[in-house]
Amino acid sequence: MLNNAALSEPIPILPARPRRDAAVHVASPGTAATACSACCVQGVCLPCNLNGSELSRFGEIATAKRRVARGASLYHNGDRFESLYAVRSGAFKTVGVSRDGTEKITGFHLPGELLGLDAINGGCHGYNAVALEDSEVCIIPFAQLEQLALGVPALQHQLLRLLSGDISRDHGLMLLLGSMTAEQRIAAFLLSLSRRHQRLGYAGDRFMLRMTREEVGNYLGLTLETVSRLLSRFQREGLVTVQQRDIEILGKDRLMEMVGHW
């Protein structure tokens, strides 16, 4: 059952544009090839299908790691695009800000997923990328990645696959905000998180929401009250159990029936 503390949980506020060294720390380069091969998300990240020598070459360009404190920005809207960022641990949200200052969350990014793909075409970032919790990313300089991909077909294929997935997520968001009812949006969101956790090798039926209910509502185009009311209803109907941010999916088939064509 949702309690009052959960309903009043504050929304992380985007900080004023910080100094580049504020709450963002670049780790010293180490043995990158070993780090890639030993990484717990290597199997789902950009170099997931590379053989030993290819992985070693990839590791040579992805030497730097960056730690980002909860609530701090990895990059800002308007920053020059130079690198992609692979989430090594933690989670991020991408946020657009309208001219009147209204914030709109455009996506959530979990370990093994890439940040910055949308900036490849325009050459600058169109969103703020904000850490939902203390996080770490691997920095992948894009110019070097392009050169390496020319000689490593498996890497080129994976990069294209990730770009296609980014487009598909945008299309899925348009469906969520355009043609779905509120209950379908919540069901689709939970099913999406379930698939993404399974992809990481975790249980797909039990996971923690890394974002607040306010942030879920912002992303789905719903109010906090609607998100909380529907989660409570899903729990009464035996579809999920909710304890603070811990979610257990009990009725996945029923959720899929609810979503229908999505």
Tell me if the domain spanning 179-259 has CATH number 2.40.30.10: no
Instruction: Pick the range with the lowest mean pLDDT from 185-189, 200-204, 211-215, 253-257.
Output: 200-204
Give the pLDDT score at 142: 95
Domains of the chain, by residue range, sit at: 24-152, 179-259
**In the predicted model, is pLDDT for residue 253 greater than 90?**
yes
Alpha helices in the chain (DSSP H): 4-7, 32-38, 52-61, 142-151, 153-178, 182-199, 213-220, 224-236, 252-259
Q: How many residues does the chain have?
A: 262
pLDDT digit string, tens, across residues 27-73: 544 444 446 777 767 667 887 878 888 888 888 898 889 999 999 99
Q: Do domains 24-152 and 179-259 have the same CATH topology?
A: no
- pTM of the prediction? 0.82
The residue assigned the tokens 């729990």 is 235
Burial class of residue 38 in the structure, from the number of CB atoms within 10 Å of its CB (0-12 exposed, 13-18 middle, 19+ buried):
exposed
> Higher-confidence residue: 238 or 163?
238
Distance (Å) of CA 171 to CA 35, 106, 174, 183, 262: 34, 12, 5, 19, 11
Calculate what percentage of the chain has a pLDDT beyond 90: 55
Q: Which CATH class is domain 24-152?
A: mainly beta
- CA–chain centroid gap for 208, Å, is 14
For 110-169, the pLDDT digits (tens) are 998 999 998 998 999 999 999 999 999 999 999 999 999 999 999 998 888 888 877 777
User: Taking a C-beta distance cutoff of 8 angstroms, is the pair 240, 247 a contact?
Assistant: yes
* 86-102 pLDDT tens trace: 999 999 999 998 888 88
How large a percentage of the chain has pLDDT more than 70?
84
